[in-house]
Amino acid sequence: MLAKNNASRIRTKLLIKIAETFLNDDIENIDRLPLNLRPKDEDHNRCCVYKDRAIIKYRTMATLGHSIEDETDELKPLSVYAKEALEREEDDKPVLTVIDIACSGCIKAQYMVTNACRGCLAQPCRLNCPKDAITIVNGQAKIDPELCINCGKCKEVCPYHAIIHVPIPCEEACPVNAISKDEDGKEHIDHEKCINCGKCLVSCPFGAIVETSQIIDVIKNIKNKDKKMVAMLAPAIVGQFPGTIKNMATALKKLGFNKVVEVASGADITTNKEAEEFVENMKKGQEFMTTSCCPAYVNAVNKHIPELKPFVSHTETPMYYTAEMVKDEDPNATTIFIGPCLAKRVEAQRSNLVDFVLTFEEIGAMLVAKDIMVAECEETEFDTISEASAQGRGFPITGGVAAAVAHKVGDKAEIKVEKIDGLDAVSMKRLKKFAQKGCEGCNIVEVMCCEGGCVAGPRVLALPKKATRQVEKYVDNSEDLK
């Protein structure tokens, strides 16, 4: 659901309002936010305006960095949550949280026969059903839900496309079965299984799944003039906003960041180290190695495919190495990673190098709140910690990481690449098979959780194909890794 939709519009509007509230020191009026966004005389999305307001309150809580599941007092005002957000020193909340009253409690996933069914003589749906769950009644196919195992064979063979699949979007999107219904029929995230890929969040058409944001933590630190704020821009930023990446560097400084650095510089370190590790592993006789740049993939291995751990590169991510360079230069700097990914929040929580993580959507809301137009800003060079290469800037698109490693390996070893372009139930099975039987015909596996790469992350602003073209153009105009 990367296309425009009403749920994303509501979320964006709320983010901007919250950013305005804190940037303008107006938190005393935050209790009126649900009323201002849903006045009585306007149309409502749910059964009544009061439910709309309640859901907006919960969305606001999550944007303030609170888990909805932690609420113990329904009468606790937003202004209190806001003050708690300003007072907290650390943020270790789960990245994803569910607004149960916003969840529609979708019916069980099933296959359904529509009125397009012609009751044809061939009856391929009935004859191909492995459980005899389909009968012909009054000239139309009928599926017995008690016998149906949701294999989808009837849908595949119907010549009229008369059978449709009615999914539970969030459950279907999750590659590791970490979301399911609780005893009340509402969706619940099992954080022991969750890899924080954000696929459920993007797929929910009711906006019931939200992330706990760090936008307030960043605004608080920006307003503290004693803090030295360093924005670390992921290479996937290219194409997300009108204007160039150098326009964005100026816009971020207008917003209050002291320095803006390019994470592609850290990607070059990742490339060098993964190439060295790959060559060493091949000399030792290891059958294959997988990349380690995608934190959602690494989470998936740690939680669901532990047998694959020996094959995962030990090299750290571009975010890690960029933050390390920033901290080496100034140990007191506050580092803020800006990217499209939610799993980066979990990676940052495990590191003492990255202080906060913001998504493109969140930084966009802050820019709108301050009336900063990126394309109208002059171009500014990055605060260079290390000049980024074309290969480092190509990391956010599928194939970019493997291509960078292959470029660096050169003739030191034969390299045969396999790409896993997006994690889902099928690709998870493939990875498990690699761990058990090896990767036939390949010796390096690049894994991207999001199909298309980071340019298709859960919190991107631009359509992935458009963003990919912009990244490729940026890469073409950059120097190769030495």
The answer to whether residue 464 is domain-embedded is: yes
Q: Are residues 192 and 247 in the same domain?
A: no
pLDDT digits over 87-144, tens only?
998 878 899 999 999 998 888 889 999 999 999 999 999 999 999 999 999 999 999 9
Task: Write the single-letter amino acid at 196.
Answer: N
Q: Given this model, what pLDDT does residue 222 score?
A: 94
Q: Which residues contact 163 (CB under 8 A, 6 or more apart)?
A: 111, 112, 113, 114, 117, 125, 141, 143, 154, 155
Domain identity same for 257 and 132: no
Any alpha helices (H) in 24-72, and if so which ranges? 33-37, 49-63
Domain-embedded: residue 203: yes
φ, ψ of residue 375 to 5 degrees: the values are: -65, -20
Question: Average pLDDT of 9-27?
Answer: 92
On whether the CB atoms of residues 377 and 251 are closer than 8 A, the answer is: yes
The boundaries of the domain holding residue 319 are: 218-476
33 domain-assigned: yes
User: Taking residues 13-33, what's their average pLDDT?
Assistant: 92
444 forms beta bridges with 289, 417
Q: What pLDDT does 408 receive? A: 96
- Whether the pLDDT of residue 385 is over 80: the answer is no
| CATH number of the CATH domain containing 118 | 3.30.70.20
Q: What pTM value is reported for the model?
A: 0.92
- 482, part of any domain: no
Residues 69 and 148 in one domain: no
- Is residue 193 located within the same domain as residue 114? no
Clarify whether residues 206 and 352 are in a common domain. Answer: no
Q: pLDDT per residue over 139-186, tens digit each? A: 999 999 999 999 999 999 999 999 999 999 999 999 999 999 988 888
User: Are the C-beta atoms of residues 443 and 431 closer than 8 Å to each other?
Assistant: no
pLDDT of residue 481: 86
Q: In this model, does residue 38 exceed pLDDT 50?
A: yes
Last residue of a domain, one of 213, 234, 269: 213
- For residue 49, list its beta bridge partners: none
On whether both 40 and 143 belong to a single domain, the answer is no
DSSP-derived secondary structure letter, 134: E
Q: Do 269 and 121 share a structural domain? A: no
141 and 276, same structural domain? no
**Are both 140 and 267 inside the same structural domain?**
no
1 domain residue, yes or no: no
pLDDT at 26: 87
As a whole number, the mean pLDDT across the chain is 93
Please compute the mean of the pLDDT values over residues 238-247 and round it to a whole number: 94
Among candidate residues 153, 188, 213, the one where a domain is terminated = 213
Run of H or E including 141 = strand 140-143
Counting the structural domains of the chain, the total is 3
Same domain, 233 and 287: yes
Kindly state the average pLDDT of the residues 436-462: 94
Domain boundary among 179, 213, 247: 213
In a domain, 481, yes or no: no
Is the model's pLDDT at 284 over the cut of 60? yes
Residue 271 lies in a domain: yes
d(CA 228, CA 374): 22
Residue 345 included in any domain: yes
Q: What is the pLDDT of residue 3?
A: 56
Residue 219 Cα to chain centre, angstroms = 22
Residues 6+ apart with CB under 8 A from 404: 267, 271, 391, 392, 394, 395, 481
Give per-residue burial for 92-122: e unless 16+ CB within 10 Å, then b. ebbbbbbbbebbeebeeeebebeeebeeeee
What string of DSSP letters covers 286-348? Answer: ---EE----HHHHHHHHHH-GGGGGGB--PPPHHHHHHHHHHHH-TTPEEEEEES-SHHHHHH
What are the tokens at 348? 């940052």
Question: pLDDT-derived band of residue 44, with 50, 70 and 90 as boundaries?
Answer: confident
Output the pLDDT for position 1.
Answer: 44
DSSP conformation class of 454? G
Q: At 293, is the pLDDT very low, low, confident or very high (cuts 50, 70, 90)?
A: very high
pLDDT at 386 over 80: no
Q: Are residues 209 and 259 in the same domain?
A: no
Residues 373, 442 within the same domain: yes
